[in-house]
């Protein structure tokens, strides 16, 4: 069987404080294909130090359990999520309460099984494997989020996702919904020791330490930098692509990551790009960096160039006509009144510019859509009614169009509406990412007769900065 999914979590207790509880959430159950009411068998292997859960018994000593479920959603279309909840003192032979364990889902054409074992932390030892990518360029996404960036790479037609690493469960739900054949690790980067090798690694580390919309707590994720560098090195990717807010590249964490990788990736190219310059109506300023193993690939690459006169659509061209009757209109006067009250209390509210807060259907520019889009904020852009007395939020389908999300990408019905807005607000402009993916694919095409050679240690490290100036990496 092939390893398809891995999740790390702490064992809780049930019935008594020292009775280990195995709690397989819906994300794990769906990965394994478990359904509510299905009979499963729990087998304990003391020699291998693992617990196996599958639909067929291994021995007469196996414990038989049932897949339970919980109702999700209200209204006309609620659904049942599968769950496995089992506790036994027998599990103490393998796992203990508060211990960190790994849950592994293995699959093949005949079925699946879940293996639970104590987590073995190996910071400098990584287990990699080759996953078939149907001859396309293989992609490993690190801090994949919901998978919008991965979708942009795949939508180019040149890439195939073979693996992803993501912390959040709901992001992992969205990712596996759209990339069911891709390996997925759900958990902290520090606990990730198993993943596939890939031709390209796409890295989008948390930006809350540097983003103007984040907490500004620089340094709090520096403990992830070492883990990230070890994953990148073990994946043996030919090219690394980074995406983040501009300030992140000025942090000590980024400089440290770069120094940890420069012996293997001595060639770096950097470019600030704004999706608005590439015909989007939403601004999203980001800096993109690509790192290369060889000078040949480095010199073959260039970032996409923004068109001089992009044809920009009007906002109304993105409207979701199916939902016209269901728009939730709100009072502009009430919003402005609340805004003024906040401004009277001091802070930055009194100085906020509202020129793009309320936009009309004919406008061709809106604010950057933040994760907190459904809150009352001058940083948001709301659609004005014809009489300019009411406003509404852009709908999820409208934001998907604005962000140029591939038409095949969707949310599973397990993701609530507010969280859907948050995830799209944390995402990328897929059109711009796809343009960069095309440029990376071009490198593989131009140098298609080359294998992933080791770096020539005698060659100096080189970089191209945002002004296209060639320099050296020290």
User: How far apart are the C-alpha atoms of 274 and 417, rounded to whole Å?
Assistant: 27
What are the tens digits of pLDDT across the range 145-196? Answer: 999 999 999 999 999 999 999 999 999 999 999 999 999 999 999 899 899 9
pLDDT at 353 over 90: no
- Cβ neighbours of residue 284 under 8 Å, at least 6 residues apart? 274, 275, 276, 368, 428, 429, 432
User: Would you say 42 and 50 are in contact if contact means Cβ atoms under 8 Å apart?
Assistant: no
What are the tens digits of pLDDT across the range 245-301? Answer: 999 999 999 999 999 999 999 999 999 999 999 999 998 899 999 999 999 999 999
What are the tokens at 424?
A: 């799209």
What are the tokens at 196?
A: 């596939």
Confidence (pTM)? 0.87
User: How far apart are the C-alpha atoms of 137 and 441, rounded to whole Å?
Assistant: 8
User: Would you say 165 and 139 are in contact if contact means Cβ atoms under 8 Å apart?
Assistant: no
Per-residue pLDDT band for 134 (boundaries 50, 70, 90) equals confident
- The residues pairing with 163 across neighbouring beta strands, listed in sequence order, are 140, 183
275 vs 469, which has greater pLDDT?
275
User: How far apart are the C-alpha atoms of 215 and 201, rounded to whole Å?
Assistant: 27
- Cβ neighbours around 310 below 10 Å, total: 12
* C-alpha dihedral sign at 53, 55, 61, 64: positive
User: How far apart are the C-alpha atoms of 73 and 175, rounded to whole Å?
Assistant: 20
What are the tokens at 343?
A: 């401004």
pLDDT at 209 over 60: no
What are the tens digits of pLDDT across the range 429-456? Answer: 999 999 999 999 999 999 987 655 554 5
Per-residue pLDDT band for 84 (boundaries 50, 70, 90) equals very high
DSSP 149-160: HHHHHHHTSSEE
Q: State the number of CA atoms in the 13 A half-sphere of 434 facing the CB.
A: 15
* C-alpha dihedral sign at 320, 324, 328, 330: positive
- Nearest one of 155, 197, 138, 148 to 444, comparing CA atoms: 138
pLDDT confidence of residue 215: 47
**Mean of pLDDT over the chain:** 88
User: How far apart are the C-alpha atoms of 330 and 332, rounded to whole Å?
Assistant: 6
pLDDT confidence of residue 377: 81
- Cβ neighbours of residue 445 under 8 Å, at least 6 residues apart? none
Domains of the chain in start order, with CATH, are: 2-118 (no CATH), 127-310+428-472 (3.40.50.150), 315-410+417-425 (3.90.120)
Which residue's structure tokens are 């009979």? 39
């Amino acid at each position: 069987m092939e390893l398809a999914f891995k999740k790390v979590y702490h064992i809780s207790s049930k019935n008594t404080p020292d009775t280990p509880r195995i709690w397989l959430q819906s994300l794990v159950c769906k990965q394994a294909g478990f359904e509510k009411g299905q009979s499963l068998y729990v087998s304990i292997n003391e020699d291998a130090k693992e617990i196996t859960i599958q639909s067929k018994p291994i021995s007469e000593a196996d414990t038989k359990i049932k897949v339970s479920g919980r109702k999700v959603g209200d209204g006309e279309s609620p659904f049942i999520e599968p769950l496995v909840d089992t506790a036994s003192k027998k599990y103490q032979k393998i796992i203990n309460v508060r211990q960190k364990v790994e849950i592994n889902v293995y699959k093949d054409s005949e079925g699946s099984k879940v293996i639970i074992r104590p987590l073995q932390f190996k910071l400098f030892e990584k287990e990699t494997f080759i996953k078939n990518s149907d001859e396309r360029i293989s992609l490993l996404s690190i801090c994949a989020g919901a998978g919008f960036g991965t979708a942009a790479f795949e939508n180019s037609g040149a890439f195939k996702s073979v693996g992803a690493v993501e912390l959040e469960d709901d992001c992992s739900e969205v990712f596996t919904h759209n990339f069911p054949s891709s390996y997925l690790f759900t958990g902290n980067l520090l606990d990730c020791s198993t993943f596939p090798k890939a031709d390209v690694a796409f890295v989008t580390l948390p930006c809350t330490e540097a983003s103007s919309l984040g907490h500004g707590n620089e340094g709090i994720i520096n403990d992830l930098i070492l883990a990230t560098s070890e994953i990148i090195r073990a994946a043996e990717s030919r090219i690394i692509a980074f995406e983040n807010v501009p300030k992140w590249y000025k942090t000590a964490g980024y400089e440290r990551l770069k120094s940890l990788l420069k012996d293997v990736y001595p060639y770096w190219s950097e470019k600030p790009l704004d999706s608005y310059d590439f015909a989007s109506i939403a601004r999203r300023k980001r800096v993109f960096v690509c790192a290369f193993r060889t000078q040949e690939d480095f010199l073959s690459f260039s970032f996409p160039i923004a068109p001089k006169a992009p044809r920009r659509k009007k906002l109304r061209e993105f409207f979701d006509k199916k939902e016209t009757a269901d728009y939730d209109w709100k009072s502009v006067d009430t919003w402005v009144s609340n805004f003024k009250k906040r401004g009277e209390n001091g802070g930055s509210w009194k100085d906020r510019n509202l020129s793009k807060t309320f936009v009309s259907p004919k406008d061709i520019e809106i604010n950057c859509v933040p994760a907190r889009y459904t809150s009352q904020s001058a940083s948001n852009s709301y659609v004005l009614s014809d009489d300019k007395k009411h406003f509404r939020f852009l709908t999820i389908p409208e934001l998907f169009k604005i962000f140029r999300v591939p038409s095949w990408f969707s949310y599973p019905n397990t993701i609530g509406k507010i969280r859907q807005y948050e995830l799209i607000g944390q995402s990328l402009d897929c059109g711009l990412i796809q343009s960069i993916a095309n440029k990376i694919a071009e490198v593989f095409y131009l140098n298609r007769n080359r294998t992933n050679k080791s770096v020539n240690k005698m060659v100096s490290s080189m970089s191209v900065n945002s002004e296209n100036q060639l320099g050296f990496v020290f």
